[in-house]
């Protein structure tokens, strides 16, 4: 059972208890009136105690219990709405943390990998990482390497099993072989 249903149930119980308490108070007042009628209109009993002197503690305790139950029911109804939004917020935060952590891990792996590469290989790997599937001619312009130098670097990276070339007609597209 969810919080909202429990809240409505508690409010119903509190209202029911309040009605019973009110009826009980009316009943006690009627008993006092009938007791006064038995004593010929006098409010004093044989013990010398006045029938109007009552102990209000049970009614106060009952009223407090009704108010607390109503408050708890209202809180649960309102809390059920905020709990769902709180859960959604938590899930979004966890998702962001996970995404950020994955990005950091990929960056760390790429950094470690690039330590074993020379400057031209680092340049090429960085540009291929930025745009996976980049054409060889575009890569040549972005890295400022000559056509022959780029071909040599790409061959070395292929031998190291870091990239793969995919031919599409006369164009070579360069992809990272492993997700970095």
What pLDDT is stored for residue 56 in this prediction?
A: 75
Distance between CA atoms of residues 123 and 145, nearest Å: 9
Report the percentage of the chain scoring pLDDT > 70: 86
pTM of the complete model beyond 0.95: no
Q: Is 16 in the same domain as 46? A: yes
- Over residues 151-179, mean pLDDT: 88
Q: What's residue 45's pLDDT? A: 66
| pLDDT at site 15 | 94
The CATH number assigned to the domain holding 158 equals 1.10.10.10
The tokens for 89 are 């917020």
Which of 35-49, 98-112, 142-156 shows the lowest mean pLDDT across its residues?
A: 35-49
Average pLDDT over residues 80-91: 70
- On the 0-12 / 13-18 / 19+ scale of CB atoms within 10 A, 120 is middle
In a domain, 16, yes or no: yes
Domain region containing 141:
119-176
Residues 15 and 92 in one domain: yes
Kindly give, in sequence order, each residue whose CB lies less than 8 Å from that of residue 9, ignoring residues fewer than 6 positions away.
73
Domain count, the chain: 2
For 40, left (φ over 0), alpha (ψ -120 to 50), or beta?
left
């Amino acid at each position: 059972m969810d919080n909202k249903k429990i809240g409505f149930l508690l409010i119903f119980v509190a209202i029911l208890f309040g009605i019973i308490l009110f009826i009980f108070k009316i009943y006690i007042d009627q008993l006092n009136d009938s007791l006064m009628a038995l004593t010929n209109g006098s409010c004093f009993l044989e013990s010398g105690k006045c029938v109007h002197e009552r102990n209000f503690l049970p009614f106060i305790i009952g009223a407090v219990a009704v108010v607390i139950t109503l408050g708890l029911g209202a809180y649960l109804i309102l809390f059920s709405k905020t709990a769902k939004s709180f859960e959604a917020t938590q899930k979004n935060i966890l998702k962001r943390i996970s995404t950020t952590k994955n990005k950091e891990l990929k960056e760390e792996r790429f950094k470690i990998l690039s330590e074993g590469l020379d400057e031209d290989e680092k340049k090429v790997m960085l540009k291929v990482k930025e745009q996976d599937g980049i054409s060889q001619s575009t890569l040549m312009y972005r890295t400022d390497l000559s056509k022959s130098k780029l071909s040599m670097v790409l061959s070395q990276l292929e031998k190291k099993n870091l990239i793969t070339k995919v031919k599409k007609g006369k164009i070579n597209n360069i992809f990272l072989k492993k997700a970095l």
